[in-house]
Chain A
Amino acid sequence: MTETRAATVRETAGDGGSRPPHDRTSARRRRWWLEVGWKYFFAAGIIFYAAFPLVYILSASLNPRGSLAASNAIFSAVSIENYMALGDTYFWAWYGNTLLIGGIAAVGAVVIGAAGAYAFSRFRFSGRRASLSGLLIIQMFPQTLAFVAILLMLLAIGEVVPALGINSKISLIALYLAGALGANTFLMYGFFNTVPIEIDESAKIDGATHAQIFWRLIMPLVTPILAVVALLAFIAAFGDYVLAKIVLVSEENWTLAVGMYQWVSDQLTSRWGLFTAGAVLAAIPVLVLFLSLQRYIVGGLTAGAVKG
């Protein structure tokens, strides 16, 4: 049962076609309004709620006045001035940093998480249950709470290995990967369990090693959860403020979260127009990734976490 769940939760296409074709009587129409029709109006309401802030930000980003007070008249003026102005700031450097850090952290999280889940799912070793419970507990402690120690530790490491000290993107990625085993293994573990062990065993009889089974048999079968974990790790890195703020101390090394917070919070350089234009651009990679992976996300979230 469980192994097919990922497939069943994905929606089938063309689901609207089941409506009877000839419901012409008014009684039927009224019933349709009562049971289905109103849902479209409800949907319109939800869409307004969900999308209004995003429409607003798009409008503000196109407003050449570039200030909060001037942005309230939606689409009152359209100009790409704010977007051009981003070129005079560190925005594109931050953009690059964010994609780089997020990308590497995502790949790392997938590999570490998948390897961990494979070990827990396929090997029976002493301390296995204790380790799983331990991970479950540890992942609840946010690293953010230890930021003072992280700062001091990186300062100390920087003395020894400058590339791993403060202001290093590698350090930041390493910090993000620290949470990878705890947060993702548990999510993946359930999914790995849905892959029948018989597949492993028949390959083993054929002489496959555990590494070959992992890389060439299991990994292709668990692609949905890999996509989900990659996306979650990317979003987590993308949205992190505290650790990025502490580790990356020079402005050209900042990520979007740190830099754009500065734009809006620093009272001396407040720039609403720049921020909104930057936000629109910054949201694009996440939106694209999210929407293109969304069918996996629904499957992955429910199959992996809703009872493994």
Chain B
Amino acid sequence: MSVQHDEAQDLETTSGPPSTSRRGGPSAESHSRGWRGLGWGFLVKLAIMAVINALGLLALISAFRVESWWIFGITLALLVIADIVYFTKKALPLKYLLPGLAFLFVFQIFVFGYTAYIAFTNYGTGHAGSMEQAVDAALIQGERRVEGSPTYPLSVVERLGGELGFAINDGGEVLVGTENEPLSSVDVPTASGAPSDVPGWTVVDRGRLLSDQELQAAVVDLRVPVSEDPNDGAIRTRDGSSGAVYTSTLVWDEEAQTITDTVSGTVYAPNDRGSFVADDGSSLPTGWYVNVGFDNFLAIFTDPALAEALLIVTIWTFAFALLSVVLPFALGLLFALVFNDPRIRARKFLRVLFILPYAFPAFLSALLFRGMFNAEFGVINDLFFFGADINWLGDPWLARGAVLFVNVWLSFPYWFLVCTGALQSLPSDTLEAADIDGAGKFRRFRSIILPLLLVSTAPLAIASFAVGFNNFTVIYIFNDGGPVIPGAPYRLGSTDLLITAIFDIAGISGGVANYGLASALSILVFIVIGLIAAIVFRQTRRLENF
């Protein structure tokens, strides 16, 4: 980005033209705003940049320590760019754009990219972690306490060189062992409780054990065999003060990357779907997430139940977005035309009352209407339909009507304001000319006012369409997208928009989570929105005006 604006001098380096002591002089009134006061602006900048650099460095160190290379790289890049932009005279516009661009890049563009990545995985219920974690989980699930094994008082002991072991008290007899040495008796006086003094060993006190996470992890993983025969099991502790004998039925073979069930002899091998599967088709419960290519995208179109529900959702999304612009616009325009009349008293006061719905937070309105539309107890049936049992939220079409009603109520004041403003800024000579020509009221409206109004409000209408297309709050909060379409998976409902459908599929609100599928759908919606945006901007040629 090169600067063509040649006066690219920087705040901190400015000395300005030689001072001619304008300040104080009476003639300097119009211009002397003290431009060349002290460079305190520079000091503020320096202070802010110092803080940003310090925080950035801390983040870099932290990222390095947890080996989080993505974050390390992005932080480093942002930091370097920030320092270059703010400490050199180049790239003047960037000084103003960088803060916004940084947020935009990390929290919007990067997450879009990340979404695309997830769309190609099977991330979701049952495939939530890494393969390593799946192995851990399998081993946890496969390790069982030997039936009838008593609970022994236990101490964690340490030997020179840091080798850990367990010392247990088996009915007064103290036994010690390590991972490689099975338990053996040591000669200490009969004790009760956990062994406190074991010759040749240092007893690790519990305070240290509990506050040292590395040590704790080692102790949690430590298994001390009871005897030379591994089938007898091993001592394991769960709290650091008692132990019991456990045997494991699943063995992880790191070389072969397989898990073997020692009881049945079944070998579970990883497959390309992120699960451990045996030859007979049985699998271990815990999987991990893997790249599944275009499967999620294919599922959207090939799974009949899903595809059918999504088609309904898509059509409704467009209908809702369109009607959410047209209806409130018409209503707002009507009100604006009627009340853009200087003969009406207290117009300001009326306007305040008209725009109350717009000033009332939308999520509260949606929740409020949710209660008001309740068929049996809601105030709408009770008061306006004389207690009739109209099932507003349970019937697909009534629910669609109800949610549109809510959205019109929410947004007509916006269009009332916009249309009022636009009407008042219409060139008065045009209107007067029409008046002189004797154009009838309606004709004047249709052939002069409306076209002018449409031109001036078109960008807002487009923005409003986009908002309606993605109006999560009203749809989700009003009726959870319900009522549910019969037979639709993921509880997709008749008033669901694509965006709430994605939320349902992701399973944030319960049920089965399928982040991969949800992300794939997000990507498709991105593409649809992008297409709409491109077509619309081409059509309106707004870009010409820059």
Task: Tell whether A103 is near chain B: CB-to-CB under 8 Å.
Answer: no
Task: Tell whether B348 is near chain A: CB-to-CB under 8 Å.
Answer: yes
Closest Cβ neighbor of B17 among chain A residues: A207
Contacts of B439 in A (CB 8 A): none
Which of B239-247, B310-318, B421-429 lies at the interface with chain A? B421-429
Encode B429-447 as 1/0 by CB contact (under 8 A) with A.
0000000000000000000
Interface size grouping (class) on chain B: 35 or more
Quick one: which of A39, A115, A141, A157 contacts B526, CB cutoff 8 A? Answer: A141
B376-426, CB < 8 A from A: 376-379, 382-383, 409, 413, 417-418, 420-422, 424-425
In the complex the two chains form, is A302's CB within 8 Å of B425's CB?
yes
Quick one: which of B338, B371, B383, B534 contacts A264, CB cutoff 8 A? Answer: B371
In the complex the two chains form, is A161's CB within 8 Å of B62's CB?
yes
Contacts of B472 in A (CB 8 A): 142, 144, 241-242
How near does chain A come to B333, taking the closest CB pair, in angstroms?
13
In the bound assembly, the distance between CA atoms of A260 and B421 in angstroms comes to 35
In the bound assembly, the distance between CA atoms of A51 and B455 in angstroms comes to 31
In the complex the two chains form, is B421's CB within 8 Å of A149's CB?
no
Encode B342-368 as 1/0 by CB contact (under 8 A) with A.
111111101111111111111111011
In the bound assembly, the distance between CA atoms of A246 and B63 in angstroms comes to 23
Assess A16 versus B344: contact at CB under 8 Å? Given A53-B368, A142-B499, A207-B14. Answer: yes
In the complex the two chains form, is A156's CB within 8 Å of B71's CB?
yes
In the complex the two chains form, is B420's CB within 8 Å of A112's CB?
no
A125-184, CB < 8 A from B: 125-129, 131-133, 136-138, 140-150, 152-153, 156-157, 159-161, 174-175, 177-182
Contacts of B344 in A (CB 8 A): 16, 36, 39-40, 43
How near does chain B come to A188, taking the closest CB pair, in angstroms?
11
Q: Of residues B3, B118, B371, B372, which shows the largest number of chain A Cβ atoms within 10 Å of its Cβ?
A: B371
In the bound assembly, the distance between CA atoms of A24 and B71 in angstroms comes to 79
Q: How many residues of A contact B (CB 8 A)?
A: 125
In the complex the two chains form, is A116's CB within 8 Å of B100's CB?
yes
Which of B148-156, B183-191, B193-201, B473-481 lies at the interface with chain A? B473-481
Contacts of A54 in B (CB 8 A): 356-357, 360
In the complex the two chains form, is B537's CB within 8 Å of A133's CB?
yes
The majority secondary structure among interface residues of chain B is: helix
Contacts of B66 in A (CB 8 A): 159-160
Task: Tell whether B495 is near chain A: CB-to-CB under 8 Å.
Answer: no
Q: Of residues A53, A112, A152, A287, which shows the largest number of chain B Cβ atoms within 10 Å of its Cβ?
A: A53
Contacts of B117 in A (CB 8 A): 149
In the complex the two chains form, is A8's CB within 8 Å of B108's CB?
no
Assess A137 versus B533: contact at CB under 8 Å? Given A160-B68, A242-B472, A282-B364. Answer: yes
Assess A286 versus B506: contact at CB under 8 Å? Given A35-B343, A150-B107, A216-B33. Answer: no
B37-56, CB < 8 A from A: 41
Task: Tell whether A91 is near chain B: CB-to-CB under 8 Å.
Answer: no
Assess A149 versus B115: contact at CB under 8 Å? Given A180-B100, A282-B364. Answer: yes
Task: Tell whether A95 is near chain B: CB-to-CB under 8 Å.
Answer: no
Contacts of A257 in B (CB 8 A): 361, 363, 473
Contacts of B2 in A (CB 8 A): 125-126
In the complex the two chains form, is A125's CB within 8 Å of B367's CB?
no
8 closest A-B pairs by CB: A181-B100, A302-B421, A178-B107, A207-B16, A16-B345, A149-B114, A290-B359, A119-B96
> Besides A119-B96, A125-B4, A308-B545, 9 other CB < 8 A contacts?
A50-B413, A174-B103, A174-B107, A212-B33, A238-B361, A257-B363, A282-B361, A298-B421, A302-B456
